[in-house]
Amino acid sequence: MNILKDKIKLIIFDISGTLIDHGSLATVYTFQKVFKNHNLKIHPELIIKDMGINKDKHIKKILSHPYISKQLKNNINNKKEIYNNLKKKFNKILKDEVENKFDYISGFNNLIKYIRDRNILIGITTGYPRSILDYILIRFKEDKNFKPDFAVSASDVKRGRPYNDMVIKILRKLKIKKFNTIKIDDSISGILEGKNSGVKTIGLTLSGIHYLKTSNLRKKISKRIQDKNHFIIKKKFKKVKTDFIVRDIGEIKNLLIKNFNC
């Protein structure tokens, strides 16, 4: 048994693909819809690349990609106008998609209870804008009687992921040291957010953006194929030196017991 010496006092979660929205599909569908409104085709791989960062910056990055620039052709001089239109429509469509795909990822109830029973604080960071974060927090309270100790949106800080501004804001607010903290996320930018904060990190392979499957669809896939996909995605997390890698939050409790004596 490899129990680490630092007592865990705070666990910081991402939202989409981690706690709700299996496959993190709300954001993917939103990007596809808003770009389609401008007759621009966008592949999921292009969205995944910078998933988890501030949504306005995410739009700008995708818009500047050569694949998109090539599609713009004669509209290249109107890129600023297109960006403003995309940004304007994005949050409205995103809100609709978040509402439509508001499913709790399996293991949510048991994990939150387990953490609370051990007096561990819970924080949240998200690339969602504050308005959508507030909506989600209301749903958490109404559906699960769950309220995190502190939640931060990328729009609340100067720099979103992969920078550490959101995590540092939580650490200061809750007065917890970085070595007593874990960050859990399904995106590489979210893990880098944790690494840049000096906290321990747990990456999720099969519930989030790198697998792009709803819970029902994932259940139809054989264990052999899921294991294979887990192994492939695990390599991506290892490249950024993620401390621990599991399939989804359903495996977190055992990880905490085994490695942190929680």
| Residue 10: Cβ-neighbour burial (10 angstroms; 0-12, 13-18, 19+) | buried
What would the two tokens of residue 172 be? Answer: 């200061």
Question: Is the separation of the CB atoms in 188 and 182 below 8 Å?
Answer: no
**In the chain, at which residue ranges do the beta strands (DSSP E only) sit?**
10-13, 121-126, 150-153, 181-185, 200-204, 244-246
Same domain, 196 and 156: yes
The pLDDT score that the predictor gives to residue 49 is 82
Same domain, 121 and 53: no
How crowded is residue 228: how many other Cβ atoms within 10 Å of its Cβ?
A: 12
CA dist 147 and 30 (Å) reads: 27
Same domain, 55 and 145: no
Same domain, 125 and 150: yes
Same domain, 42 and 151: no
Same domain, 68 and 133: no
The pLDDT score that the predictor gives to residue 1 is 41
Global pTM value: 0.92
Question: C-alpha distances in angstroms, 121 versus 11, 40, 111, 151?
Answer: 6, 43, 13, 11
Residue-number span of the structural domain to which 211 is assigned: 10-23+102-260
What would the two tokens of residue 41 be? Answer: 């085709």
Number of structural domains (the chain) is 2
Question: Is the separation of the CB atoms in 259 and 4 below 8 Å?
Answer: yes
User: Quick check: is 204 in a domain?
Assistant: yes
13 forms beta bridges with 124, 184
User: Quick check: is 4 in a domain?
Assistant: no
Strands ordered across the beta sheet of 200-204: 150-153, 121-126, 10-13, 181-185, 200-204, 244-246
Alpha helix positions (H), 20-78: 25-36, 44-48, 55-63, 66-72
Same domain, 122 and 241: yes
CA dist 168 and 173 (Å) reads: 8
Same domain, 121 and 67: no
pLDDT per residue as tens, the chain (262 positions): 455 557 999 999 999 999 999 999 999 999 999 999 888 889 888 888 888 778 888 898 888 888 888 887 766 557 778 888 888 899 899 999 999 889 999 999 999 999 999 999 999 999 999 999 999 999 999 999 999 999 999 999 999 999 999 999 999 999 999 999 999 999 999 999 999 999 999 999 999 999 999 999 999 999 999 999 999 999 999 999 999 999 999 999 999 999 998 8
Question: C-alpha distances in angstroms, 45 versus 27, 31, 90, 119, 182?
Answer: 13, 12, 19, 39, 28
Same domain, 86 and 117: no
Angle, CA of 145, 149 and 151, to the nearest 5°: 100
Q: Residue 127 sits in a domain of what CATH number?
A: 3.40.50.1000
Sign for the CA dihedral angle at 254, 250, 184, 121 comes to: negative
Q: What is the CA radius of gyration of the chain?
A: 18
Q: Which of 100, 131, 160 is the last residue of a domain?
A: 100
Same domain, 191 and 145: yes
Q: Residue 56 sits in a domain of what CATH number?
A: 1.10.150.240
CA dist 26 and 32 (Å) reads: 10
The pLDDT score that the predictor gives to residue 76 is 57
The pLDDT score that the predictor gives to residue 146 is 98
Strands 181-185 and 10-13, how do they pair?
A: parallel
